[in-house]
Structure formats: structure tokens, C-alpha cells
């Protein structure tokens, strides 16, 4: 028995192979987290750094009141979602076992419309994040750890 495939069916089958797979919702939320809160190797970490980062990351329409950028290795941040570098903290959140270099950009007030003016605070802190399927998707807060 010979099977004849219609040209329309062949186009459909070929089209399935060429159609890109949309990223999973978790991947989108992780990418959004990185866009808002991750900068591996910052330059400056001063008010100008905050002005440029907030503008370039599109966090200025309207001016976001406060944003924290985490510096370092993405894998170390992801490890907070596991026991390697994190532990449970208040509900579904996780707190890091190690400190991260961070820069906090705080809106200096005035208009909530651009151009936005930010003040920078650089520090080393443990961080609290929300995770979904092993990926960080929400930055909650940071703490200065007590020195012994």
C-alpha cells in the first residue's frame, strides 16, 4: 500500500520542526530576575552607576523607588535555591548562606518621571530570594550579617 502525503500536510510537518519553542514561564521569570537584579562585574557602583543601570534596565518609567543589584556569579545565586548556598526562610523564600556584593540604588525623590536621580549604597550582605523550579525569580531583601 502506497501512502500519498498531501503537500499541505508536508508543509505542516516541516513547519513544526522550524517553529521555535517558546521559553517556559520559569525561564522568563528567571530572565526578568536577572534583568532587574543581576550585574556580574559592575563598574563604579556609585550614583552614576545607578543612574545608568536603572535607565538601561528600563526601571525608570516611572522611577523605581529602590532596586538592588547583586554582583558575582549567577551559579552562586542559583545555588541559594538549593541547599548548597541557601536555606528555607519565611514561607517559600530562601536566604543565602554566603554574602554577596550588592549595590542598592535608591531614588533621591522629586519627580517619578525620568530623568530619575539615584543614590548608590554598596555593601556585602546575605540575600533573600524566591525560587521556582530551582531558579531565582524574586528578590525580597538583604541583610547585613552581624560581625562576631
State residue 25's pLDDT score. Answer: 60
- As given in the structure block, the three cell numbers for residue 22 are 517558546
Total-model pTM: 0.79
Higher pLDDT, 129 or 13: 129
State residue 144's pLDDT score. Answer: 67
Each residue's pLDDT tens digit, 43-91: 999 999 999 999 999 999 999 999 999 999 999 999 999 999 999 998 8
Residue pair 142/68 in contact (Cβ under 8 Å)? The answer is yes
The answer regarding whether domain 26-142 maps to CATH 3.20.80.10 reads no
Catalytic residues: 37, 138
State residue 24's pLDDT score. Answer: 57
Could you tell me how far CA 63 lies from the centroid of its own chain?
Answer: 18
Q: Specify burial of residue 9 (Cβ count, 10 A radius: 0-12, 13-18, 19+).
A: exposed
Question: What is the average pLDDT across 125-147?
Answer: 88
Is the pLDDT reported for residue 31 higher than 90? yes
Q: Determine the longest span between alpha carbons in the chain, in angstroms.
A: 82
Whole-number Å distance between alpha carbons of 47 and 62: 18
Is the pLDDT reported for residue 5 higher than 70? no
Output the CA torsion sign for 38, 39, 45, 51.
negative
Q: Where are the domains positioned within the chain?
A: 26-142
Amino acid at each position: 500500500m502506497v501512502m500519498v502525503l498531501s503537500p499541505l500536510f508536508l508543509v505542516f510537518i516541516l513547519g513544526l520542526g522550524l517553529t521555535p519553542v517558546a521559553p517556559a514561564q520559569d525561564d522568563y521569570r528567571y530572565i526578568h530576575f536577572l534583568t532587574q537584579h543581576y550585574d556580574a562585574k559592575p563598574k563604579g557602583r556609585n550614583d552614576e552607576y545607578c543612574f545608568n543601570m536603572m535607565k538601561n534596565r528600563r526601571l525608570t518609567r516611572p522611577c523605581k523607588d529602590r532596586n538592588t543589584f547583586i554582583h558575582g556569579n549567577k551559579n552562586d545565586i542559583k545555588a541559594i535555591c538549593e541547599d548548597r548556598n541557601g536555606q528555607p526562610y519565611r514561607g517559600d523564600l530562601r536566604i543565602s548562606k554566603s554574602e554577596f556584593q550588592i549595590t542598592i540604588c535608591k531614588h533621591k525623590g522629586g519627580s517619578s518621571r525620568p530623568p530619575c536621580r539615584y543614590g548608590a549604597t554598596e555593601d556585602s550582605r546575605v540575600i533573600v530570594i524566591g525560587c521556582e523550579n530551582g531558579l531565582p525569580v524574586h528578590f525580597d531583601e538583604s541583610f547585613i550579617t552581624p560581625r562576631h
